[in-house]
Structure 1
Amino acid sequence: MTLPVIELREVSRRYDGGPPALHEVSLTVRPGEAVAIVGPSGSGKSTLLHLIAGLDRPDTGTVTVDGVRVDRLGESGSALYRRSKIGMVFQFFNLLDDLTVADNVALPARLAGMGRGEADRRTVELLETLGIDRHARSYPGRLSGGERQRVAVARALMNRPPLLLADEPTGALDTAAGQDVGKLLTELNAEGQTIVVVTHDLALARSCTNRAVRIADGRIAEDARTHAVAPETVR
């Protein structure tokens, strides 16, 4: 059996002496899975995402992503980890408005030291695959919300990360654009991309993931398959 992409063991996190944001959470995500993390505001979803992304550290427990002990990383190590191991998609896109679409997409590769020629080829490939190549020289502010989110997904995939994290990726979109992004995530997962989506949008969770993990009061309240396809069969 393949090694997990994500493995959390007995992870807890508490802020400023308050109740635990997460309490003894254990979670395993294998290659090819598309997992939705769902739950109400304050349930611990964002804390879980931040721990996986190396943006925060647990008080107790271990966080391992693609063989890297994320909970042990310092600031520079966490930045390198995010650059090489994960792609992140945010609710409000986080694109740089003074860079063209192509330059936004290529930015992670340049930060990682990829040669310009290789970065340019990868950028063209991603823009064509995601159907936004006609916007390569445009600036993000001239695009629709759905198009900007496609640019954000392309940027997140630039360095071929083993894990794609999406934080409320449809939260700033209208219904049609949200459905479009859900379809895109489904297509990426069908091609073998491991995806974790944190969302309030239950329709998105049902449409583009094969597993739903419900968080309540800092604990996993439910972990259920939503499709019958086993992750090991996805390539």
Structure 2
Amino acid sequence: MAVPVIELSGVSRRYEEGPAALDEVSLTVAPGESVAVLGPSGSGKSTLLNLIAGLYRPTAGTVTVDGTRVDTLGEAGSARFRRAKIGMVFQFFHLLDDLTVADNVLLPAEMAGVGRAAARRRAAELLDVLGIARHARAYPGRLSGGERQRVAVARALMNRPPLLLADEPTGALDSASGEDVRELLNDLHADGQTIVTVTHDLSLARACATRTVEIADGRVVADRPTPRTTPATSATSTAVAR
């Protein structure tokens, strides 16, 4: 059996006052799965994502990602781990507006100490595969929402991470751009990328996920295969995205 990419065991995240943000959650994600995490605001979805990414530490339990106990890492070790193992995509892109598209995509490689020539080849490859090569010298503010999210995905994939975490990736997009991102996530999953997507969007889960985990009041209340809708066929190949 393949080693899980994510393994949470009895994980809680508590604060001094109020209910637990996450309460004794156990969760396993296998290589190549695309998992959607659903739940209302305040349910613990974002806390779960931040624990997986090593941005938070659990009050109790263990968090293992790609064989590493991320809950035991210090701040510097956690940052190095994210650079090497996790790609993150956010609702509001988090691109640097004073850098070109290409330079935004190059940032993770530069921070990881990848050689300039190799990094530029990888960035050019990703921009081409994701259909935004023509925007390499443009600035993010000149792009549509869907195009900016593609830049964010290219940046997230720059160091070939085994895990992609997406936090409401269509939340700030219009319907056409949202569909564009749904197709992209489907392409990445078809190429073998392991993806965990936190979303309020049930249609996104049905289109892109093979499994849905529902959270309420900090607990997993359902974990089942996703009744998927048939995604639109995309001409984009992401064979080089990994």
- Distance in 2 between the 1:179 and 1:6 partners? 27
Structure 1 gaps of 5+ residues are: 229-234
The correspondence of residues 65-144 of structure 1 with structure 2, limited to 5 A, is 65-144=65-144
- Taking structure 1 as the reference length, the TM-score comes to 0.96
Structure 2 gaps of 5+ residues are: 229-241
- Distance in 2 between the 1:24 and 1:104 partners? 38
**Residue 31, structure 1, aligned to residue 14, structure 2:** no
What is the CA-CA distance between 1:210 and the residue it aligns to? 0.3
- Taking structure 2 as the reference length, the TM-score comes to 0.93
Match of 1:231 in 2: none
Match of 2:231 in 1: none
- Distance in 2 between the 1:120 and 1:176 partners? 30
Match of 1:194 in 2: 194
What is the CA-CA distance between 1:227 and the residue it aligns to? 5.7
Aligned-residue CA RMSD (Å) = 1.1
**Residue 154, structure 1, aligned to residue 154, structure 2:** yes
- Does the residue aligned with 2:150 lie in a helix, a strand or coil? helix
- Does the residue aligned with 2:97 lie in a helix, a strand or coil? coil
Match of 2:8 in 1: 8
What is the CA-CA distance between 1:18 and the residue it aligns to? 1.4
Q: Which amino acid aligns with 1:145?
A: G
- Distance in 1 between the 2:203 and 2:179 partners? 9
- Does the residue aligned with 1:20 lie in a helix, a strand or coil? coil
Q: Which amino acid aligns with 2:95?
A: L
Q: Which amino acid aligns with 2:105?
A: V
Residue pair 2:205, 2:226 contacting (<8 A) in 1 also:
no
The correspondence of residues 152-191 of structure 1 with structure 2, limited to 5 A, is 152-191=152-191
What is the CA-CA distance between 1:16 and the residue it aligns to? 2.7
Cα-to-partner distance string for 1:98-120 (whole Å, 9 max, x where unaligned): 10000000110000000000000
- Distance in 2 between the 1:58 and 1:187 partners? 33
- Does the residue aligned with 1:23 lie in a helix, a strand or coil? strand
Q: Which amino acid aligns with 1:60?
A: A
- Does the residue aligned with 2:21 lie in a helix, a strand or coil? strand
Match of 1:232 in 2: none
Runs of 4+ residues over 6 Å off in structure 1: none
- Does the residue aligned with 1:196 lie in a helix, a strand or coil? strand
- Distance in 2 between the 1:109 and 1:153 partners? 14
- Distance in 2 between the 1:23 and 1:123 partners? 40
What is the CA-CA distance between 1:226 and the residue it aligns to? 1.5
Identity within the alignment, %:
74
Cα-to-partner distance string for 1:151-186 (whole Å, 9 max, x where unaligned): 000000000000000000000000111111011000
- Distance in 2 between the 1:212 and 1:188 partners? 18
- Distance in 2 between the 1:42 and 1:213 partners? 15
